Structure 1
Amino acid sequence: MAAGNLVEEISDNLKLVVDAVKRAGPMAWALIGLMIVLYINPAQWIWRAWFREDGYYTHGPLIPLVAGWMVLTNKDRLARLPIKPNWLGLVIIVLCSLGFLASTLCHMNPPKYFIFVFYILGLMLLLFGTKITKALLLPWAFLFFMVPLPDAVIDIFTYQLRIFVTAAAVHLVDPLGWAIVKSGNYIYYPSGETLVVDDVCAGLRSL
């Protein structure tokens, strides 16, 4: 795809969004503004998590780009679908706003990042309607991969992966006749040396 064609397609899609916002009226602008106000700080946290040196989400910046590419590849199909705003979107937005408030009062930040993705779903329903939203469900759902999980959840995954990798390593060397012993994520050699399967060996970053 030539750069000029890509720019033209992006421009056409932006015009579609602007037209939908104009059709929805001032309330749409207000809800978009509310989203910016509510999620400016969580967005900064997500950005820092993406570029954290020892983080698991360095793929994060690619996710919105891939989701956008999914939308562009379905441009012709989307153009044929009618724009019929669905007020269920407003209900979702209100629930997301209440969830954001509850998370703030409870000092729980991670739920805010997932609520943000559902807020986008509400906007899609309100601005474009059910048919277009259904057509956009895959790129929308793909956005969840950009949201960092809480460290406690990641620790659970990495621990289980470490145990699995340790067991797999011992199983692979068993035919060689090495008398090694496994205990958790530790491997003990007959010589007395110990090998520790740490987080970096768990493979979560590779996944």
Structure 2
Amino acid sequence: MAAGVWSYWPVLSDLWDFWRHNADYSVGQLVPFVAVWMIWSYRHELRKLPVRTCWWGLLVLLISQALRLAGLYYMYGSVERYSIVLTIAGVVLLVWGYQVARQLVWVFLFLLLMIPLPGRVHNQVAVPLQSFASTSAVFCLETAGYLVARHGNVLELSDRTSVAVAEACSGLRMLTAFTVVAATLAFMVRRPAWQKAVIVLSSIPVAILANTLRLVATVLLHEWIGGEVANRFFHDFAGLTMMPVAVVILVIELRLLRWIGQPAP
């Protein structure tokens, strides 16, 4: 284990710096700690499982190191980062066996959430999100009776109110954070696999909705109070407020899924 940490130390150090300096993926630094808690919560089940060496784990390790070598050769850092999770899965499978590895599948999948999206994928996600944030904010404001002019990603509510929807306003930060929260919530509840999958996938529209509400509130504050207060609201208070709102929505969704899953009388 120590040899693996030493081997991956440059990758882990680079990943830590990325988390600290890129707000869209800052939630990634919490994922390993939550994963440790998940394993701890499985401790009673894991103690009952037989520990048998599974040599298929060696194959998984070879594949993970081949991916890492390809990432180094082609200077593609994301492949190196993803190989961390595959290496962990391979070690567990090799040392503790198939049944233990199977019990921890959700943890392995959860660890993937700590890896930032590759640059090309990031752009393919962030740019449409940014455009959708602008469009949805205009729709909500016009529905509320405001006349809004949109020029690209710039919203004009009046002659003195002009708000640029920057990439930081795209909602990608909320999307990554809400996905981690939804995956943790899905782990905590005892539900069928399909309901857990629905909870995780629903974090995407919930995050988009929350970001739209935050953007609408920011534009209105620009109009009513001024830019400085509105910007502080957007980057500080609104982000903190939307997280419990998202959790409430997910809990309501869990109740609906339980109601749907109940057999008819």
Q: Which has the higher helix share?
A: 2
Does residue 163 of structure 1 match 2:131? yes
Cα deviation, 1:65-113, whole Å, max 9, x if unaligned, reads 1111111111111100001111111001111111111211111111100
**Aligned mate of 2:8, from 39, 47, 51:** 39
Q: Match of 1:182, SS? A: strand
1:27-106, aligned counterparts within 5 Å? Answer: 33=3, 35-52=4-21, 54-106=22-74
1:127 — aligned with what?
Answer: 95
Compute the RMSD of aligned alpha carbons: 2.1
* Structure 2 counterpart of 1:118, one-letter code: L
Q: Distance in 2 between matches of 1:85 and 1:197?
A: 54
The letter for the 2-side match of 1:108 is Y
User: 1:31-83 CA deviation, whole Å, 9 max, x = no partner?
Assistant: x62x334311101101111211x432222222111111111111111100001
Q: Is the CA contact 2:141–2:147 (under 8 Å) kept in the aligned structure 1?
A: no
Q: Distance in 2 between matches of 1:179 and 1:127?
A: 64
Larger radius of gyration, structure 1 or 2?
A: 1
Amino acid at match of 1:133: A
Task: With the length of structure 2 as denominator, give the TM-score of the two structures.
Answer: 0.60
SS at match of 1:61: helix
- Comparing 196-205 with 63-72, greater Cα deviation is found at 196-205
- Partner amino acid for 1:93? L
CA 101–189 in structure 1, closer or farther in 2 if over 3 Å, else same? same
Corresponding position: 1:141 with 2:119: no
Q: 1:190 to 1:123 in 2, by over 3 A?
A: same
Aligned with 2:76: secondary structure?
coil
User: Structure 1 residues 176, 117: closer, same or farther in 2, change over 3 A?
Assistant: closer
2:155, 2:164 within 8 Å by CA — same for their partners in 1? yes
**How many angstroms apart in 1 are the aligned matches of 2:83 and 2:66?**
10
Are the equivalent residues in 1 in contact too, given 2:35–2:111 (CA < 8 A)? yes
Residue 47 of structure 1 aligns with an amino acid whose one-letter code is W
* Cα distance in 2 between the residues matched to 1:117 and 1:130: 16
Give the corresponding residue for 1:151: 119
Aligned to 1:205: 173
Shift of 1:153: 2.5
- What SS does the aligned partner of 2:23 have? coil
Question: How many residue pairs align between the two structures?
Answer: 175
Q: 1:132 to 1:183 in 2, by over 3 A?
A: same
Which residue identity lines up with residue 49 of structure 1 in the other structure? F
Would the alpha carbon gap of residues 82 and 182 (structure 1) be closer, same or farther in structure 2, given more than 3 Å must change?
same
Q: CA deviation at 1:190?
A: 6.2
Q: Aligned partners of 1:179 and 1:124: how far apart in 2?
A: 58
Unaligned stretches of 5+ in structure 2? 176-265
After TM superposition, the structure 1 stretch with the greater mean CA deviation from structure 2, 95-104 or 115-124, is 95-104
The TM-score, its normalising length taken from structure 1, stands at: 0.76
Instruction: State the 1:167 CA deviation.
Output: 1.0
**Paired AA for residue 104 in structure 2:** L
Structure 1 position 142, deviation (Å): 0.9
2 CA distance for matches of 1:176 and 1:92?
Answer: 55
State which of 187, 190, 195 in structure 1 corresponds to 2:155: 187
Structure 1: which 5+ residue stretches go unaligned? 1-28
